[in-house]
Chains A and B, each alone.
Chain A
Amino acid sequence: MKNEREDGKSKKPYQPPVCETISLRPEEAVLGNCKSMFVSGPSLSVCTASTGCSSIGS
Chain B
Amino acid sequence: MMISEQTQTENQSQAAKWRCCLQIGDLTLGFTAAEMNVHLDPDHQSFAIPAQNCEIEIDLEWVDSLLPADSKKLFDSGAVWTLYEDGEHYVFDFTTRVLGPRPYKRLLIDRDFTRARVLFVRDCFPDKANVRALEYPLDELIVTNRLARGRGVEVHGCGITDDACSSSLFVGHSGAGKSTTTRLWQSVPGVRILSDDRIIVRKRDDRFFMHGTPWHGDAGFASPREAPINQIFILEHGERNDVVAMPQAAAAAELFARCFLPFHDPQALTATLAYLDDLTRTVACYKFQFLPNHSAVEKILEFQRPR
**Residues of A participating in the B interface, judged by any CB pair closer than 8 Å:** 18, 20, 22-26, 28-33, 35-44, 48-50, 55-58
Contacts and interface: CB of A to CB of B under 8 A. Distances in A.
Interface in B221-267: 249-250, 253-254, 256-257, 259-261, 263
Interface of B: 43, 77-81, 96-99, 104-105, 120, 124-127, 130-132, 135-137, 140-141, 144, 156, 172-180, 196-197, 215-218, 220, 249-250, 253-254, 256-257, 259-261, 263
Given A26-B78, A38-B136, A57 B98 contact: no
Chain A at the B interface: mostly helix, strand, loop or mixed?
A: loop
B77 A30 contact: yes
7 contacts: A22-B256, A23-B257, A26-B78, A30-B79, A38-B135, A40-B136, A42-B99
Contacts of B197: 57-58
Nearest to B158: A58
B79 A33 contact: yes
A57 B80 CA distance: 18
A40 B79 contact: yes
Contacts, number: 112
Nearest to B179: A58
A36 B96 contact: no
Given A58-B175, A58-B180, 17 more contacts: A20-B249, A22-B257, A26-B78, A30-B78, A32-B78, A32-B141, A35-B215, A38-B135, A38-B136, A40-B80, A40-B96, A41-B98, A43-B127, A44-B98, A48-B98, A57-B197, A58-B218
Contacts of B144: 31
A20 B250 contact: yes
A29 B260 contact: yes
Nearest to B77: A32
Nearest to A58: B174
Nearest to B180: A58
Given A32-B81, A43-B125, A43-B126, A55 B97 contact: no
Contacts of B98: 41, 44, 48
A56 B253 CA distance: 21
A57 B81 contact: no
